Amino acid sequence: MKIQLPKKALVTGAAGFLGSHLCRRLLADGYEVTAVDNLFTGTKSNISDLMDSPRFSFVQHDIILPFWGQFDEIYNLACPASPVHYQHNPVETMKTSVLGMLNIMDLALKTKAKVLHASTSEVYGDPLVHPQVESYWGNVNTIGIRSCYDEGKRCAETLAADYRREYDVDVRMVRIFNTYGPNMHPQDGRVISNFVMQALHDEDITLFGDGLQTRSFQYCDDLIEAMRRYMSLPRETVDAFCAKHGLGAPVINTGNPGEYTIKELAEETLRQIPESKSKLVYRPLPSDDPKRRKPDIALARELLGWEPKVPLKEGLSKTIEYFRAQQIS
């Protein structure tokens, strides 16, 4: 009888919004999962249902410091991703991206693990090209209040590209556009959680600027599906894809190209929470806030045979259900 041992995965940022969904999916796919999180923005309640699984281990650790172990796959998701959190301590945010990446790359190099790194549409900054393609270099301020996140994430991409070129580390990157769903931090200050929380509490729904700036909203399950497909590809396929498209490193956008204005989102939220007494109010746009973002997902389509499936209405409904349940518990 041949015994097939489960593959081992390390997930950093595992108790966060996306990390918790990824852990759940990896367990469902038969993996043994080591979940690392410093619990700064992540919370154990996001993964409490996984704690009893014999294939799941949680380690409270900050990836600014090295972490060691033998894994087949590493998913590097650690970093506060919302302005209210990453601006709390900008220097630590930068360290999480840069020192975290150095630690993950050194681990991958020494143990031959395959890595998926969660990059972000923020590397495009306030884009001058629309929709954003992977070959666009971005428009980012180095010395502004968002820079700690944007430049840290850009720097992490550079490190990934160089570890791949110089040391042959098998690292793949996704640039994640706005993503939402259950397990979002209710106080992360981002638009969907803000609107839902405000609507549930009958508070004014705050729109910044004229509310006509657009965003793309990707439901979390769509992203996790893209990540898993990406990691299941043989290395040669990924390398050939980079060569074909002249990519300096395997980096693909994942997001939902459907565009909604912030105002439309607010209105849909109120439609789905009909009992809400909330009203729309307008506030000035914060400094360096990107005006418009929309992913070009042609590369992800081609490489992964993937595209987002969950419509905003449906995803928003599941998200509202989650936040409602949080209110009660």
Is 179 in contact with 220 (CB distance < 8 Å)? yes
* 112 token code pair: 């031959």
Q: Which of 147, 183, 256, 276 binds a copy of itself (CB under 8 A)?
A: 147
If binding is defined by CB under 8 A, does position 138 make contact with a copy of itself? yes
Strand partners, 260: 215
Q: Which helix (H) or strand (E) holds 271?
A: helix 262-272
If binding is defined by CB under 8 A, does position 243 make contact with a copy of itself? no
Residues 6 or more apart from 327 whose CB is under 8 A from it? 200
Respond yes or no: is residue 149 known to be catalytic: yes
Question: Catalytic one among 149, 180, 219, 230?
Answer: 149
If binding is defined by CB under 8 A, does position 137 make contact with a copy of itself? yes
Nearer to a copy of itself, 65 or 212 (CB): 65
Burial class (CB in 10 A: 0-12, 13-18, 19+), 16: buried
Q: Which of 131, 152, 182, 308 binds a copy of itself (CB under 8 A)?
A: 152
Q: Which residue from 268, 294, 285, 127 is spatially nearest to 211, judged by alpha carbons?
A: 285
If binding is defined by CB under 8 A, does position 145 make contact with a copy of itself? yes
Q: Which residue from 160, 10, 4, 3 is spatially nearest to 70, judged by alpha carbons?
A: 10
141-149, 188-196, 271-279, 299-307 -> range binding a copy of itself (CB under 8 A): 141-149
If binding is defined by CB under 8 A, does position 144 make contact with a copy of itself? yes
> Which chain residues interact with a copy of itself by CB under 8 A?
89-91, 94-95, 98, 102, 105, 123, 125, 137-145, 147-148, 151-152, 154-155, 157-163, 165-167, 247-249, 251
> Which residues are the active-site residues?
149
